[in-house]
A and B are shown apart, each in its own frame.
Chain A
């Protein structure tokens, strides 16, 4: 290649022996080089904290209907669809629940669930991808073909088909565990995992293919290393950057999927305050009580944009590292 992407010096000559990377200044240059990514990352950190501790901050429970009768004689309806005020930061919804509290609680389903699902997918998907990429041959051929078939079903369609069967299936199973975790939570997680595992294993597989024949892998074979060592100690670290980029991208898609399904009324089931569902519930209030709609809409928008900015930043960062 004649012209390279010169992001850092020393493309040819190595730095003088003994020069260690200056972490702090690298961080600072990285921030100044891409401030948006750091705004995004900061947003993501805040959202993740909300997911973890939001319920602790919430003045009310997510399904607590604040009843007029509790406060003194008024009917419940008097406290429904109240505009934002000091008592109810984001106002109340049609049922008389505190929107602020609901959004704090809802971060779990909106962010936590996709996060868990993505992590599971990454673990399963990358192990599978690493394995078939490294082993190759017939195993790879067959598994790849199946994964390709799954990928050729658009995610939303696959999700809808699966949702329509898995939710009833799980609800009907009567298992205690499922009841506790919530059938729609489990099925959504399953759906996301089933959709993502093929995609992630494809990425992991092709990343694996690109390092499989590297000298250091062959060296490892030549000193008699086992498959597990090669997969997880030698290959995984090189595949990791690609996986991190993919995972951050996937996470934002997973959030989109969950909120979209919620918006279609097919996602996490009420009274759970998943934000997409909140949007659906608030849609008709757009003229009477616009805050009911705007807070969740805004929440989702800011959330997704933060994730996108961050994952774009990660991508650039890792590309530059190379």
Chain B
């Protein structure tokens, strides 16, 4: 057995909240071998960051390690002194954090920040350090390091900053790199490139890494070994392939089963892990997962299972792992029950035509003082049609205009141009000209459950008010209350939520309330903008199921917006892909997700991290990042990044709309047949490096 780079033994960490010390992490064991990328997964609050930070000996002021050892380099990090740890930091262990933009000092140039580490630890002079920094940047595929070094952080895009952070972390050839959700803030396409890069670099530098993430997909793509954390405890840890192929812990199994991709393309219901993770103070002496575990026995509820060696380097903390391993019991079976409710009808519930919206009209004062703002064309002549009882999915990277389209339809912003028809009736683009009937029929669920409910009003008030304002007939107080309670039950809550305030609801519960509110007046169309993106996977599954159930029960239609292709493809009958305010491809779900597709869709699909280690591949690398809509490329807006660019046509001419069967439309200079041919031939050669495009001047993404 090789000597691990770092090993954590029986680690327990507590936080002081008020006057109490609450345990956040309990007896965690973890070893990272040389050259290993060790994944640490778990839902929000499970203690991933706490463990990661403990491993670099950098805990919050109100944290203490109550037990355990962290052995690095034959010494327990708990006992090293202040100056000794400063020899280790940046030199032997380095960190790539999540919030990269804030992780660089905004008032110092990149060069200064990068050379600081190398000068400190490698004992080199300024010039040499500078040269090294250039090299390091080149290593992370930045084409013009000199340029980047002379910049301030805010002048760089998010992806670029993340590259800088990675270069910096690796610049002293550390033995351990801790990556705490290094890509969560990035777009999928950028994320794919960065992960790809990371994997190669870590191997190349012969380092070991701890990769912290909540996203099973990226873990599957990147890691060699995975530890699953739940409520501060290790549930299971195993080599990546084995974990994904045969989880031994019910929780792991549940997590995998929650993913929309787990249904293998079918529309089967997703598995639900009922309940929520225990909060810090509420962790019991029993199995922490017992409350939510379908297999829990009395033993499980009474005593905590030990973390057992399950052979092959696997560890499991479950009383019943042997039964599971033997296939005697199956925790979260992916049900194959496919409920095809009344299928989508042909008639349209909504049609939007030629929607355009430009932001950044000058304010009165700016007009006086002559400040110019170029304006952002957030929507360009977008048309969508939503059938009755169907779900329309909208995907695209950040800034592509998905939200703008949704809000224009809702009239929360007033589109500059466009025509809207709801159930064949023309509808005004201005909210104040919409009648009650329109308002009633067009409802929405917002992305962020935290701000979609007024913190000062109870659940009952919120939903009741909507009923009061929008229902068809006047109702008595008690009738309204009854209806609210009915709705609450319909979204899987109980009637006693009526008097709760949002502060006492979890994210998933808030989202359920928001959904109940949306459905309160029996709408014809509900627009859900990223309804699950701020939720944990297990909760996401619950919400997705709920949306599906409601559609079946209420006969409403949806527009579902998400940057997550999996979610959209799972929910939607029709899908549109947006890029820079335009729809580049749309059609029936299967048609869009199958080839031929627009090169952008192709890249998106390839970038999406599949939670299957067997399906590892190099994603199609797009050049640079999404251009700012302020300086939108001419011709085909995608030509600056397109790996299948034909030539100058793409730069000069607006691509035509290519129509395939079943109303499948693609905006591309390639005819469909040709596109299919080249895509069948395989992915494009890995695109030119990211740095070909100059750093994004706007830099505010």
Q: How far is the CA of A242 from the CA of B60 in the complex (A)?
A: 29
Q: Give the residue among A2, A11, A137, A222 with the most B Cβ atoms within 10 A.
A: A222
- Of residues 229 through 248 on chain A, the ones whose CB sits less than 8 Å from some CB of chain B are 234, 237-238
**Does B127 lie at the interface of the complex (its beta carbon under 8 Å from any beta carbon of A)?**
no
**Is A222 within 8 A of B452, CB to CB?**
no
**Does A72 lie at the interface of the complex (its beta carbon under 8 Å from any beta carbon of B)?**
no
Q: Among A7, A11, A216, point to the contact of B453 (Cβ < 8 A).
A: A216
**Is A223 within 8 A of B448, CB to CB?**
no
Q: Write out the residue numbers on chain B whose beta carbons fall within 8 Å of the beta carbon of A19.
A: 504
**Is B17 within 8 A of A8, CB to CB?**
yes
**Is A145 within 8 A of B365, CB to CB?**
yes
Closest Cβ neighbor of B449 among chain A residues: A215
A-B pairs with beta carbons under 8 A, tally: 115
**Is A6 within 8 A of B364, CB to CB?**
no
**Is B506 within 8 A of A13, CB to CB?**
yes
**Does A27 lie at the interface of the complex (its beta carbon under 8 Å from any beta carbon of B)?**
no
The smallest beta-carbon distance between B318 and chain A, in angstroms, is 21
**Does A214 lie at the interface of the complex (its beta carbon under 8 Å from any beta carbon of B)?**
yes
Complex interface bits, A1-29 against B, C-beta within 8 A gives 1, otherwise 0: 11100111111111111111100000001
Q: Write out the residue numbers on chain B whose beta carbons fall within 8 Å of the beta carbon of A288.
A: none
The smallest beta-carbon distance between B79 and chain A, in angstroms, is 25
**Is B509 within 8 A of A2, CB to CB?**
no
The smallest beta-carbon distance between B438 and chain A, in angstroms, is 9
Q: How far is the CA of A216 from the CA of B451 in the complex (A)?
A: 6
Closest Cβ neighbor of A144 among chain B residues: B365
Which of B201-209, B220-228, B277-285, B382-390 forms contacts with chain A? B277-285
**Is A13 within 8 A of B277, CB to CB?**
yes
The smallest beta-carbon distance between A88 and chain B, in angstroms, is 49
**Is A224 within 8 A of B448, CB to CB?**
no
Which of B109-117, B233-241, B463-471, B621-629 forms contacts with chain A? B463-471
Q: How far is the CA of A73 from the CA of B439 in the complex (A)?
A: 87
Complex interface bits, A297-321 against B, C-beta within 8 A gives 1, otherwise 0: 0000000000000000000000000
**Does B99 lie at the interface of the complex (its beta carbon under 8 Å from any beta carbon of A)?**
yes
**Is A2 within 8 A of B99, CB to CB?**
yes
- Of residues 245 through 280 on chain B, the ones whose CB sits less than 8 Å from some CB of chain A are 276-280
- The verdict on A237 contacting B364 (CB below 8 Å), with A215-B446, A222-B410 known, is no
**Is B504 within 8 A of A14, CB to CB?**
yes
**Is B97 within 8 A of A2, CB to CB?**
yes
- Of residues 357 through 402 on chain B, the ones whose CB sits less than 8 Å from some CB of chain A are 363-365
- The verdict on A237 contacting B454 (CB below 8 Å), with A6-B62, A12-B44, A223-B439 known, is yes
**Is B452 within 8 A of A216, CB to CB?**
yes
Closest Cβ neighbor of B520 among chain A residues: A223
Closest Cβ neighbor of A219 among chain B residues: B452
The smallest beta-carbon distance between A90 and chain B, in angstroms, is 43
**Does B175 lie at the interface of the complex (its beta carbon under 8 Å from any beta carbon of A)?**
no
**Does A221 lie at the interface of the complex (its beta carbon under 8 Å from any beta carbon of B)?**
yes
**Does B598 lie at the interface of the complex (its beta carbon under 8 Å from any beta carbon of A)?**
no
Q: Write out the residue numbers on chain A whose beta carbons fall within 8 Å of the beta carbon of B363.
A: 137, 141
Q: Write out the residue numbers on chain B whose beta carbons fall within 8 Å of the beta carbon of A137.
A: 363-364
**Does A74 lie at the interface of the complex (its beta carbon under 8 Å from any beta carbon of B)?**
no
**Does B189 lie at the interface of the complex (its beta carbon under 8 Å from any beta carbon of A)?**
no
- The verdict on A215 contacting B452 (CB below 8 Å), with A9-B22, A141-B363, A225-B469 known, is yes
**Does B455 lie at the interface of the complex (its beta carbon under 8 Å from any beta carbon of A)?**
yes
Q: Among A15, A219, A234, point to the contact of B504 (Cβ < 8 A).
A: A15
Q: How far is the CA of A216 from the CA of B448 in the complex (A)?
A: 10
**Does A138 lie at the interface of the complex (its beta carbon under 8 Å from any beta carbon of B)?**
yes
Closest Cβ neighbor of A217 among chain B residues: B454
Q: Write out the residue numbers on chain A whose beta carbons fall within 8 Å of the beta carbon of B19.
A: 29
Q: How far is the CA of A142 from the CA of B363 in the complex (A)?
A: 11
Q: Write out the residue numbers on chain A whose beta carbons fall within 8 Å of the beta carbon of B280.
A: 9-10, 13
Closest Cβ neighbor of B410 among chain A residues: A222
Q: Write out the residue numbers on chain B whose beta carbons fall within 8 Å of the beta carbon of A222.
A: 410, 412, 431, 439, 442-444
**Does B15 lie at the interface of the complex (its beta carbon under 8 Å from any beta carbon of A)?**
yes
Q: How far is the CA of A223 from the CA of B452 in the complex (A)?
A: 13
Q: Write out the residue numbers on chain B whose beta carbons fall within 8 Å of the beta carbon of A8.
A: 17-18
Closest Cβ neighbor of B494 among chain A residues: A17
**Does B674 lie at the interface of the complex (its beta carbon under 8 Å from any beta carbon of A)?**
no
- The verdict on A238 contacting B365 (CB below 8 Å), with A215-B451, A224-B469 known, is no
The smallest beta-carbon distance between B298 and chain A, in angstroms, is 21
Complex interface bits, B284-305 against A, C-beta within 8 A gives 1, otherwise 0: 0000000000000000000000
**Is A29 within 8 A of B18, CB to CB?**
yes
- Of residues 200 through 220 on chain B, the ones whose CB sits less than 8 Å from some CB of chain A are none
Q: How far is the CA of A10 from the CA of B102 in the complex (A)?
A: 25
**Is B412 within 8 A of A12, CB to CB?**
no
**Is B412 within 8 A of A218, CB to CB?**
yes
**Is B509 within 8 A of A13, CB to CB?**
no
Q: How far is the CA of A145 from the CA of B365 in the complex (A)?
A: 9
Q: Among A2, A13, A17, A219, point to the contact of B98 (Cβ < 8 A).
A: A2
**Is B451 within 8 A of A141, CB to CB?**
no
The smallest beta-carbon distance between A213 and chain B, in angstroms, is 9
**Does B496 lie at the interface of the complex (its beta carbon under 8 Å from any beta carbon of A)?**
yes
**Is A16 within 8 A of B364, CB to CB?**
no
Q: How far is the CA of A47 from the CA of B282 in the complex (A)?
A: 44
**Is A219 within 8 A of B276, CB to CB?**
no
Q: How far is the CA of A11 from the CA of B45 in the complex (A)?
A: 8
**Does B517 lie at the interface of the complex (its beta carbon under 8 Å from any beta carbon of A)?**
yes
**Is A214 within 8 A of B451, CB to CB?**
yes
Closest Cβ neighbor of B436 among chain A residues: A224
**Is A13 within 8 A of B276, CB to CB?**
yes
**Is B456 within 8 A of A6, CB to CB?**
no
Q: Among A6, A14, A33, A215, point to the contact of B15 (Cβ < 8 A).
A: A6
**Does B505 lie at the interface of the complex (its beta carbon under 8 Å from any beta carbon of A)?**
yes
Q: Write out the residue numbers on chain B whose beta carbons fall within 8 Å of the beta carbon of A221.
A: 412, 431
Q: Give the residue among A1, A9, A13, A218 with the most B Cβ atoms within 10 A.
A: A13
Q: How far is the CA of A19 from the CA of B280 in the complex (A)?
A: 15
**Is B97 within 8 A of A223, CB to CB?**
no
Q: How far is the CA of A139 from the CA of B298 in the complex (A)?
A: 67
- Of residues 131 through 158 on chain A, the ones whose CB sits less than 8 Å from some CB of chain B are 137-138, 141-142, 145
**Is B466 within 8 A of A223, CB to CB?**
yes
- The verdict on A13 contacting B45 (CB below 8 Å), with A18-B496, A218-B412, A224-B439 known, is yes
**Is A13 within 8 A of B279, CB to CB?**
yes
Q: Among A6, A9, A215, point to the contact of B448 (Cβ < 8 A).
A: A215
Q: Write out the residue numbers on chain B whose beta carbons fall within 8 Å of the beta carbon of A238.
A: 454-456
Q: Write out the residue numbers on chain B whose beta carbons fall within 8 Å of the beta carbon of A33.
A: 18
Q: Write out the residue numbers on chain B whose beta carbons fall within 8 Å of the beta carbon of A145.
A: 365
**Is B469 within 8 A of A219, CB to CB?**
no
Q: How far is the CA of A20 from the CA of B496 in the complex (A)?
A: 12
Q: Write out the residue numbers on chain A whose beta carbons fall within 8 Å of the beta carbon of B494.
A: 17
- Of residues 1 through 58 on chain B, the ones whose CB sits less than 8 Å from some CB of chain A are 15, 17-19, 22, 44-45, 49
The smallest beta-carbon distance between A233 and chain B, in angstroms, is 8
The smallest beta-carbon distance between B474 and chain A, in angstroms, is 15
- The verdict on A13 contacting B465 (CB below 8 Å), with A2-B97, A216-B454, A219-B444 known, is no
Q: Write out the residue numbers on chain A whose beta carbons fall within 8 Å of the beta carbon of B278.
A: 13
The 10 closest A-B pairs by CB, nearest first: A12-B45, A215-B452, A14-B506, A237-B456, A215-B446, A13-B279, A216-B454, A214-B451, A223-B469, A215-B451
Q: List 25 A-B contacts (CB under 8 A).
A: A6-B15, A10-B280, A11-B45, A13-B279, A14-B504, A15-B279, A17-B494, A18-B496, A20-B504, A29-B19, A137-B363, A141-B363, A141-B364, A142-B364, A145-B365, A219-B444, A219-B466, A221-B412, A222-B431, A222-B443, A222-B444, A223-B465, A225-B469, A238-B454, A238-B455
| Chain B residues close to A by CB (< 8 Å) | 15, 17-19, 22, 44-45, 49, 60, 62, 97-99, 102, 180, 276-282, 363-365, 410, 412, 431, 434, 436, 439, 442-444, 446-448, 451-456, 462, 465-466, 469-470, 494, 496-497, 504-507, 509, 514, 517
| Chain A residues close to B by CB (< 8 Å) | 1-3, 6-21, 29, 33, 137-138, 141-142, 145, 214-216, 218-219, 221-225, 234, 237-238
Instruction: Contacts A137-B363, A216-B452 known; list 11 others, CB within 8 Å.
Output: A12-B45, A13-B277, A14-B504, A15-B279, A29-B18, A137-B364, A216-B453, A216-B462, A218-B410, A222-B439, A222-B442
